[in-house]
Every structure is written in structure tokens, then in C-alpha cells.
Amino acid sequence: MARKLSVLEVLLIIFFLIVLVVDIFLLVLLLEKSSDTSFTPECPEISKSERIDCTPGQVVTEDVCTQQYKCCWETEADANIPSCFFPRNWGYEVINASDTSTGLTAQLQRLPSPSLFGNDINNALFTAEFQTSNRLHFKITDFNNVRYEVPHENVQLVNATADISNLSYHVNVTSTPFSIKIMRMSNQRVLLDTSIGPLQFAEQYLQLSFRLPSANVYGLGEHVHQQYRHNMSWKTWPIFTRDTTPTEGMINLYGAHTFFLCLEDTTGFSFGVFLMNSNAMEVTLQPAPAITYRTIGGVLDFYVFLGNTPEQVVQEYLEVVGRPFLPSYWSLGFQLSRRDYGNISGLREVVNRNRLAEIPYDVQYSDIDYMDGKKDFTVDQVAYPGLSDFAKELHDNGQKYVIMMNPGIFKDSEYDPYDNGSRKRIWILGNNGFAVGEGYPGQTVFPDYSNPACTQWWADQFAKFHTNLEFDGVWIVSYYSS
Ligand SMILES: *[C@@H]1O[C@H](CO)[C@@H](O)[C@H](O)[C@H]1NC(C)=O
Ligand SMILES: *[C@@H]1O[C@H](CO)[C@@H](O)[C@H](O)[C@H]1NC(C)=O
Ligand SMILES: *[C@@H]1O[C@H](CO)[C@@H](O)[C@H](O)[C@H]1NC(C)=O
Ligand SMILES: *[C@@H]1O[C@H](CO)[C@@H](O)[C@H](O)[C@H]1NC(C)=O
Ligand SMILES: *[C@@H]1O[C@H](CO)[C@@H](O)[C@H](O)[C@H]1NC(C)=O
Ligand SMILES: *[C@@H]1O[C@H](CO)[C@@H](O)[C@H](O)[C@H]1NC(C)=O
Ligand SMILES: *[C@@H]1O[C@H](CO)[C@@H](O)[C@H](O)[C@H]1NC(C)=O
């Protein structure tokens, strides 16, 4: 006896259908979870100094460590030594590999280990290039997708004419889990061994650790630490540039240097490692000795330099990243600088006082206070009238003048440098038009120096400003945002 369904019945049917779909979804989630729980961490006896922290920067309980992260646990009283550390069976495995005359490649697949931060990349590609007899380049990229890589403006990727018939190194790949060993041929010493920790390659978390042949590690920066040689006793140094006073123990300063040099032994043999990655990162040094790089984007793009001496290593490194420019002779002389001389009289008084006292001094600076409203390419005509004459007088006395500039441009359509730059569309873009920040003059935009039109604009501003004020150098300060 057919009859039409009532509205209530239809709603009930829809309701039960929804419940069914949700149940199936939850079941699938549960199954996925249970495949996770099938992972059993391999935790052999791992000496304290060799533990690679599974939860860096976090304090976790044993339960969270072993249940959630599937890592190994050994309660450790010293908070610097990780209690929660990676098992041996984390990371990736090689699914196929091939040798070429100038390198080797290996396709990597993620082992069924848990995820630290989600969005892990399942298929990666390891590529090694024997670039010169002393320089090895290796890279770990996403097999299926293109990710951001630092542009190779100065880096000569493959030197086709380099002699690689007599390599001073050998690369040995281990399949499960994936790791590499880089050896010095002449004495068979293993310089770098990544088997100490797992490769991590997620959307926003990339990590690789190296066991080192010696604890004589130099470089990485910029940071302040008392000794030139690094302290390998569980130190983590972030690398993310900012404008701040370099006081004792200060981390994160003006420059980013992802390079370190390792002096192998008393014979002076040494090698260098450079990670070409411009994202925020940190490095951990530990007593194994070992080093771990962790970065939040891009790819793992390493260069290894096997000069026999530290000097050769640095030469090989500079060949890749570019050599520093030769500074003017005068810039090596005595210099005087401070913020806020008050006004032109205050500035003149300091110069005259030093000249009268016959103190040798080659360069006088003006910090941001010479500017009108802290805007680049302007002079505060109230406090600093006659600044151009002041610069000429310095020159008449054989001295030089350096002024400060900030790469943050005041956002005001009445302000010529901003107006001209906006018409050329040379500012860094945000999600919604030009990215706007808070800088010294107020709201600022940021020149995108990777745009050739921007470098032209920047040079034009200086050329024009220089016709009014004959400065000899500029002190360009990395940007400060309060
Ligand atoms: C792996 O094998 C496949 C199929 O033979 C091939 O297409 C691919 O290029 C190989 N990958 C590497 C890294 O050798
Ligand atoms: C390339 O190799 C040649 C021959 O070994 C060498 O003269 C040249 O300096 C190398 N160039 C770079 C950029 O490494
Ligand atoms: C290969 O390199 C080693 C070490 O750099 C050197 O002693 C040796 O003479 C080289 N051999 C050839 C054939 O160039
Ligand atoms: C590479 O490593 C494997 C496993 O450790 C080892 O058996 C092999 O001898 C190594 N090859 C070379 C050339 O060192
Ligand atoms: C290295 O750091 C540890 C831990 O902070 C400290 O106890 C030790 O004195 C430092 N070593 C040196 C040589 O500065
Ligand atoms: C310059 O500054 C000094 C000290 O701050 C002050 O005494 C003087 O009056 C100022 N001169 C002018 C011209 O503003
Ligand atoms: C900015 O543009 C205006 C108008 O095109 C021009 O007169 C001025 O010289 C430009 N300024 C600079 C610094 O390029």
C-alpha cells in the first residue's frame, strides 16, 4: 500500500544517512590511527651524547613521548640532555638509487613513522653532485612538487669544466632508514654521517643531523659566544636575522651564516658545510659530536667543502657564495658614530673637539636623527641646517661621511621615494597588496631587492640625494619593527 512519506520521515531518513556517513568517516580515521599505532620504535642503547631530541623546545611526559610521538624515552635529570629522542627506525628509506658519472640520486619514501608537525612529504629525492674534486653538493627535495629554493645568483651549480676524476671524497648511501656517509678518501675518515638522526621532511619542518669527526666546530651565526670555537655541550642557536645590540650570549643578530667549519684533527685537516636555505632555522650542537639543522621551509640544499686546511675550506666556500667586496681603504680607519647628536651644532662640536685634540679619525657618521621624520633621503632642516656644508668641510679635512639608511620606506603618497616606487610596483607583496609594516617613520613598505626595477629605483634615490648631500658611504640597517 504505497503512500507518500511525510516531511518528518524524510528528515529522519536524511538524519540517519548523515549519521551513517559520519560513522564511516570516523571508522576510516580510526583505521588510519591504528596503522600509526602499529609502528614500534626501535630503541637500542643510544648513548646520551648521541640522542637526537624528538621534541625540541618542548617539555613532554614519557606518555606523550612514547605514545604520541613514538620516540624513545630515558628519564634524564639534566634538562639539556633529551629524555625523549628519536628511535633508529624513523625517517625515510631508499626505494631506488642510481649512480651517474658525476653523482648519484636516490628516491626516498617516508617510513611509517609518526608525524611531528603534520604534512610530511612522502616522496623525496636525494641528489648528489660531485661538483669539483673538493666540493660535493647534495640536495633533498620533494619528488612530486617544486618547493622554494634560494635563487642561484652567485652559486655556480655545476662547473662543467671542473676536474672530478680524482675526488677527495666518497659518498655512501644506506637504504633503511636512509642516511649518508661522506668520507675523506685520503685517510678513509667519515666526515659526516647522517645515521645519527632521522631525515625529517614536512611542509614546514625539515631536519637533518650529522655526526662529526671532531668537536672543533667554528662558524654559524650571527651570535655572541665567548669562545671562537663552539661549545658542543647541548647548545641550540637560532638563525633568524634582526637588528639588536650584540651583548653577551645574544642570539639572532644582523647576519645569517648557515656555514660551519670542522677542524678534524691536529694535522689541520678540515672541511666545511653550508646549508643554502633562507628560512628561519636553528642548529643544535651536541657532544657526540654532532650537529642538527632544523628549518621551516624550502629544501635541504647542502654543500660540503674538503679543503685540506681551514683557509682552503673558506676559499672553496667563498667560491660558491661569492667573495666579499674589497672595502675602501678609508673604511678601515677610525670611525665615530652615535645616535642623536641633537643638532648640527652638537655634531660639529664633536668633530671639532676631536680635531683639536688631534685624535686620528677618518670617518664621521650620522644616525637616523639627521633625517626629517626618520624618512630615508631627507634631511631635518630644523635640527640639521647646512648639513651639506658640514659634509664638504669633512672632505676638506680629508675625512669621510657615512649616513644611515633603512630599507623601510614611509608609506605616504606625498613622499617622493614612496610615490615613485609605488608607480614602479617595487614593494614586497603581502596577502593583500603591498606588505605594510611599522618602522621608524611610521607605516612603511619594503623594497623588493630581487626586482631589478627596485634596485634601479634604489640607485636613483641615492644618486638624486647625493647631489644635495655628499656622503661617502651608507650604513644600511637591517629592519627593526617594534
Ligand atoms: C626509480 O625507478 C623508476 C622506474 O624504474 C625510474 O623511473 C626512476 O627514475 C628511478 N629513480 C631514481 C632516483 O633512480
Ligand atoms: C671551474 O673549474 C675550472 C677548472 O677546474 C676552474 O678553473 C674554475 O675556477 C672553476 N670555476 C668555479 C666557479 O668553480
Ligand atoms: C689525487 O688527489 C690526491 C690528493 O689530493 C693527490 O695526492 C694525487 O696526486 C691525485 N692524483 C692524481 C692522479 O691527480
Ligand atoms: C658503504 O657502506 C656499507 C655499509 O656500511 C659498507 O659495507 C661498504 O663497504 C661501504 N662502501 C664504501 C665504498 O665505503
Ligand atoms: C659549555 O657549556 C656548558 C653548559 O652550559 C658549560 O657548563 C661549560 O662550562 C661550557 N664550556 C666551556 C668551555 O665554555
Ligand atoms: C643644539 O643642541 C644643544 C644641546 O642639545 C642645545 O644646547 C642648543 O641650543 C641646540 N642648538 C640649536 C641651534 O638648536
Ligand atoms: C620621482 O618621480 C618624479 C615624477 O616622475 C620625478 O620628477 C622625480 O625626479 C622622481 N624622483 C626620483 C628620486 O626618482
Distance 85 CA to ligand 4 centre (A): 27
166, 168, 305, best to mutate for ligand 3 pocket (most atoms within 8 Å of CB):
166
pLDDT > 50? residue 442:
yes
pLDDT one-digit tens code per residue, 256-303 = 999 999 999 888 999 999 999 999 999 999 999 999 999 999 999 999
DSSP string of 189-236, one letter each residue: EEEEEGGGS--EEETTEEEEEEE-S-S-EEEEESB--SSSSPP-SSEE
CB 257 within 8 Å of CB 241: no
Separation of CA 95 and ligand 5 centre (Å): 43
End position of a domain, from candidates 262, 288, 321: 321
Both 259 and 407 in one domain: the answer is no
Rounded CA separation 76/147 (Å): 38
User: Which range of residues forms the domain containing residue 206?
Assistant: 128-321
187 and 233 housed in the same domain: yes
| 375 domain-assigned | yes
**Residue 399 amino acid letter:** Q
Q: Does 26 score more than 90 pLDDT?
A: no
Same domain, yes or no: 340 and 238: no
The tally of domains found in the chain comes to 2
Q: What is the number of the ligand closest to the CA of 307?
A: 3
Residue 251: per-residue pLDDT: 86
Q: What is the DSSP string of 392-434?
A: HHHHHTT-EEEEEE-S-EE--TTSHHHHHHHHHT-BPB-SSSB
How many whole angstroms from 124 Cα to the centroid of ligand 4?
23
Checking if the pLDDT of 435 tops 90, the result is: yes
Assess if residue 431 is contained within a domain. yes
Q: How confident is the model at residue 445 (pLDDT cuts 50, 70, 90)?
A: very high
Residue 149 lies in a domain: yes
Boundary (domain end) residue, out of 264, 294, 321: 321
Q: Is residue 467 part of a domain?
A: yes
pLDDT tens digits, residue range 381-410? 999 999 999 999 999 999 999 999 999 999
Answer whether 177's CB lies under 8 Å from 92's CB. Answer: yes
> 109 lies in a domain?
no
Peptide bond into 407 cis (omega under 30): no
Give the closest ligand to the alpha carbon of residue 287.
5
Quick one: which atom of ligand 5 is closest to the CA of 80? 4
Ligand nearest to the CA of 186: 3
Q: Is any atom of ligand 2 closer than 6 Å to the C-beta of 159?
A: yes
Q: Do 151 and 243 share a structural domain?
A: yes
Task: Verify that 297 and 184 share a domain, yes or no.
Answer: yes
CATH code of the domain covering residue 291 = 2.60.40.1760
Closest CA to 359 of 382, 335, 343, 391: 335
One domain, residues 190 and 233 = yes
Cα 409 to Cα 183, 416, 421, 434: the distances in Å are 50, 10, 9, 12
Query: Do 317 and 333 reside in the same domain of the chain?
Result: no
Please state the separation of Cα 455 from the chain's center in Å. 23
User: Is 405 a member of any domain?
Assistant: yes
Closest CA to 416 of 465, 456, 453, 381: 465
Say if 111 falls within a structural domain.
no
Is the CB–ligand 2 distance for residue 154 below 6 Å?
Answer: no
CA–CA separation, 424 and 91 (whole Å): 47
* Nearest CA owner, ligand 1 atom 3: 96
Structure confidence at residue 324 (pLDDT): 86
**What is the rounded CA–CA span in Å between residue 344 and residue 383?**
6
Please provide the DSSP assignment of 332-373 as one string. Answer: GS-EE--S---SHHHHHHHHHHHHHTT----EEEE-GGGSST
Mark whether 419 and 366 lie in a shared domain: yes
Q: Can you tell me the distance from the alpha carbon of 362 to that of 454, in angstroms, rounded to the nearest whole number? A: 32
Q: Are residues 300 and 447 in the same domain?
A: no
| Substitution site in 344, 345, 370 for ligand 6 pocket (most atoms within 8 Å of beta carbon) | 345
User: DSSP states of 251-268 as a string?
Assistant: BS-S--EEEEEEE-STT-
Ligand with smallest separation from the Cα of 418: 7
Whether residues 282 and 170 fall in one domain: yes
Residue 38 CB less than 6 A away from ligand 3: no
Q: Is residue 74 part of a domain?
A: no
Last residue of a domain, one of 271, 289, 321: 321
pTM of the model: 0.82
**Range with lowest mean pLDDT among 181-185, 259-263, 317-321, 458-462:** 317-321
From ligand 7's centre to the CA of 409, what distance in Å?
A: 15
135 and 180 inside one domain: yes
Please write the tens of the pLDDT for every residue from 27-45: 555 444 444 557 899 999 9
